[in-house]
Amino acid sequence: QVQLVESGGGLVQAGGSLRLSCAASGRTFSMYAMGWFRQAPGKEREFVAAMGWRAGSTYYTDSVKGRFTIARDNTKNTVYLQMSRLKPEDTAVYYCAAGPDSQLRAVTEYDYWGQGTQVTVSS
């Protein structure tokens, strides 16, 4: 069992930065792939970024490449999403998720989810 708690969301102007954190419970955190997803009002939850348990493999959706960076610290059971050059279209509730190290872009592949943190980017 893994419990996930996100933090770091907020209101920021376009062009600004935020760092989201996701703290995980459980001693097996290092064996899970970790992903970030987001859901805007009226839209489906979509993949943002993921990192395999090996930490060397990272994946991003095209719209955030070069602006967002995913990182994990297995000693702190925490995964981060550094977001830079934010745009109004990045506004959404951001969720972290944990799952097996396969099909990392698929919502259905993740077993555990946090409660989400709101990110609002004003123009």
pLDDT at 74: 87
Q: What residues contact residue 118 under an 8 Å CB cut-off, 6+ apart?
A: 9, 10, 92, 93, 94
pLDDT at 28: 82
pLDDT at 27: 67
Each residue of 8-42: pLDDT tens digit?
Answer: 999 999 999 999 999 999 768 888 899 999 999 99
- DSSP string spanning 18-44? EEEEEEE-STTGGGSEEEEEEE-TTS-
Each residue of 36-87: pLDDT tens digit?
Answer: 999 999 999 999 999 988 756 899 999 999 999 999 998 899 999 999 999 9
Q: Mean per-residue pLDDT for 80-108?
A: 94
Element (H, E) at 8: none
Contact 48/60 with Cβ under 8 angstroms? Answer: yes
Per-residue CA distances from 39 to 6, 26, 36, 54, 101 (Å): 14, 26, 11, 27, 22
